[in-house]
Chains A and B, each alone.
Chain A
Amino acid sequence: MNDIQKRILLEVADLHKVPEGAYNIRSDGQSAGRRSTEHIEITSKTDVSGIDVRIAPGTRNESVHIPVVLSQSGLKETVYNDFYIGEDCDVLIVAGCGIHNCGNQDSQHDGVHRFFVGRGAKVRYVEKHYGEGDGLGKRLLNPVTEVYQEPDSTVEMEMVQIRGVDSTKRVTTAELAEGSRLLVKERLMTHGRQNAVSVYRVALNGAGSSADVVNRSVARDESYQEFDACISGNAPCHGHTECDSIIMDQGRILAEPKLEANDVDAELIHEAAIGKIAGEQLVKLMTLGLTEAEAEEQIINGFLK
């Protein structure tokens, strides 16, 4: 890989070198490295572009890294990755996509990820999106994530998109069986004329299942964001969705947290708040010696931390 590709890899996966454990690095549409381990097997799909990741039951404290780097202007790809996580696993999956586009053609990566999470398994999934490059070509990312949780499983998802992605539409769906838990933390910042749409459809199908979908976002300049999250309670369950946003400049945000109760014992809550940075927060940090711009950065960094 060249220096640009290496730097992007650092941005999206915090990887300075080849990660420990299993990994698959995709760079400009090609495999740039892969390793399976005793318990984690990575194989290429034969019908479409993408990989199958099979994690043996009972695998604990192991990780899979599957970063994607696009550095060729004009490259557009759709990749299908399926994860089969065996019963009673406890694993970390780190995905992420970085686009460097210096050219005039749009670069686009659409990743379709499906997670089949076995009974009692615990998965932590971290996904980071990043774009850079000063060409006129746009950097586009449209991830689709589908999660199917067996009883008593836990999935924690952390999705981050802080810089440089011109347009993104993220669609996440989840179906939860009894006793399973889904926690989503999404952090998003848009600037310039960027556009970001985030859709969640969570079905709490089993008794005792629960979901907590939390979005924190900042829309600066003339960017636009939509947060559309619906939790359906189809059994006795707990669901909570929250959208907390800061708008700046001419940024715009549409927040639509939605609940659908199809069972009388479904307990569902939603919250949404949008506002600019409070003047008193700026004043406080300025009395500590920061300029107004530095104070804004501190407040946003904290908010998105």
Chain B
Amino acid sequence: MLELRNIRYGVDGEAGRVDILNDVSFTVPEGKFVVITGPNGGGKSTIAKIIAGVYVPTGGTIRFDGEDVTALSITERARRGISYALQQPVKFKGIQVIDLLRIAAGRQLSVAESCDCLSRVGLCARDYINREVNASLSGGELKRIEIATILARSTRLSVFDEPEAGIDLWSFQSLIRVFQDMRASIAGSSILVISHQERILEIADEIIVVAEGRIERQGPREDVLPALIGTASAITGCDRLTGRS
């Protein structure tokens, strides 16, 4: 479904060219839940932005459903079926939650349909549907609304950049359930999540470890995860906090 081949990305800094990604290649097959992990600053979020079209790679190709989309804009990729949930949700003055969901769905979602999207991310829909997507919402609320926009789109590929970042524990618990539900109904689509959370790595089909702009390791969860436990690439909370006690 999605294939990155020899992706390079660099920026010009004060000390000359800095390579952020170096020869990154991987595939997200249809019907698979793939997680990218690795230390901070390793280039994970850059990969997500390159898939969504926010950054243009300096080398390599991106193919989506067989088509070379490397030169396509953010809009064109979105319309072909790539969804991207930002690590830092964006705030909008005056745009209400229902407006954002309708833009995401590309049609006049009914109030009931919008409520359904919000319920799936654990928000009591009636309280939120007419709220503005602005600073009056907490980080966890914004994050869940961000995820709801991806659910409203229900495209072939959904990319989530650190969905657990900046959210409270209660939100984290329901977030895990959201991903478990998505995992269960993945047929005909694929999910790519950037995360260090062990609970998310545990539901992956495949894990890709990215460090210093390169792919360090990739393969089925059973092969990759055991070596990650206890490192910065697979963070876990205590059992009580993560709901396992």
A residues whose Cβ falls under 8 Å from a Cβ of B = 216, 244, 278, 280-281, 283-292, 298-299, 301-305
In the bound assembly, the distance between CA atoms of A292 and B92 in angstroms comes to 16
B75 x A286 contact (CB < 8 A): yes
A287 x B95 contact (CB < 8 A): no
- Ranked nearest first, the 5 interchain pairs of A and B with the lowest CB-CB distance are A302-B94, A302-B95, A286-B74, A284-B90, A289-B78
B residues whose Cβ falls under 8 Å from a Cβ of A = 52, 54, 73-75, 78-79, 83-84, 86, 88-90, 92-96, 99-100, 103-104, 106, 149, 153
Residue of B nearest to A304 (CB): B94
Count CB-based A-B contacts (< 8 Å).
61
Secondary structure dominating the interface of B = mixed
Identify which of B74, B95, B149 gathers the most chain A CB atoms within 10 Å of its CB: B74
Which residues of A have CB within 8 Å of B54? 283, 287
In the bound assembly, the distance between CA atoms of A51 and B133 in angstroms comes to 44
Which residues of A have CB within 8 Å of B95? 298-299, 302
B90 x A278 contact (CB < 8 A): yes
Which residues of B have CB within 8 Å of A278? 90
CB B46 to nearest CB in A, in angstroms, measures 14
Which residues of A have CB within 8 Å of B93? 216, 244, 302-303
A302 x B149 contact (CB < 8 A): no
Residue of A nearest to B134 (CB): A302
Given A287-B52, A302-B95, are A280 and B74 neighbors across the interface (CB < 8 Å)?
Answer: no
CB A282 to nearest CB in B, in angstroms, measures 9
A285 x B103 contact (CB < 8 A): yes
A290 x B90 contact (CB < 8 A): no
Given contacts A298-B99, A302-B99, 10 further A-B contacts (CB under 8 A): A278-B90, A280-B88, A283-B86, A283-B90, A285-B103, A286-B73, A286-B74, A288-B149, A290-B75, A305-B94
